[in-house]
Amino acid sequence: MVFQEIKDSIAIHCETTGAGPPLVFVHGWSLCGAVWRFQTEHFRDRHRCITMDLRGHGRSSAPEAGYGIEDFASDLTSLCEQLDLTGATLVGWSMGAIITLAAYPKLRDRLRSLILVSGTPRFTSSGDYPHGLPPKETRGLSLRLKRNPGQTLDAFFRMMFTPEEARGRSFEPICRDIVPLLCRPSCTAALHSLDTLASADVRAVLSDIRIPCLLIHGRMDTICPAGASRYMAERIPRAYLAIMDGAGHAPQLSRPEEFNRITGDFLGKVYGID
């Protein structure tokens, strides 16, 4: 367990396990680095696995302000620089995928590849981007969060899984091994981060990505529709798209064996590891 002092008294909590080419895992809105446990335990034999808690999330500093996409991207950039990472792969999930894309221009020389999970370059839909949620969805979520933060965050977590996933045997390890490790953000941090999620647009970065990029998406994702990854796959020159049938928004949790196999096959080609 390490706290990296980034800047302006912001401390980012990160954990490292394993050895080998580095993988940096970036979680989504309202959660923390613990959501990657099934991946770090699997890949630590071949990779140095680094999980971080975004500012305002998990055990990282939670300032009263400073939750713009540029703030999150700057924290990720500074962390990679302070750890002096080279040949790294960034693994971003949901909002973490947007942050990963936002950080790419400054980190490109340190990176070997990208993995974007349940990602989108723009969370809300617009006239020229139909692959997000209607803006009213984030406004409604914000109102519910103000009224009852705990209940709203619990409901959002459940939305990440299809009804079949939530009733299946694969949900038992999530409840047993992941849920107890999750740290809720403060209401202030959650609201500011949600505002950023609703407004961020990193579509301009896509065509500039020149390294291999794996896009993994659950076909049944209702939070970030799978069309978002198809959109990115058409615009990232070296993109590989994997759509997981029957999976929701968190395939790394609900279908870890399949997810890790897809990810491992990609990393094996990127790093030449059998």
Please indicate whether residue 192 is annotated as part of the active site.
no
Is 249 catalytic? The answer is yes
The C-alpha atoms of residue 23 and residue 190 are separated, in whole angstroms, by 26
Angle at 49 between CA 250 and CA 36, to 5 degrees: 20
Give the strands of the sheet with 239-244, arranged side by side. Answer: 2-7, 10-17, 48-52, 22-26, 88-93, 111-117, 213-218, 239-244
Q: What are the Cα distances from residue 224, in Å, to 13, 150, 243? A: 26, 22, 13
Contacts of 272 (CB under 8 A, 6+ apart): none
Structure tokens at 166: 């939530």
- For residue 145, what is the DSSP state? H
Q: Are 76 and 100 in contact (CB under 8 A)?
A: yes
List the catalytic residue out of 78, 94, 118, 229.
94
Q: Single out the catalytic residue among 13, 42, 57, 249.
A: 249
**Which entry of 53, 71, 75, 221 is annotated as an active-site residue?**
221
Catalytic residues: 94, 221, 249
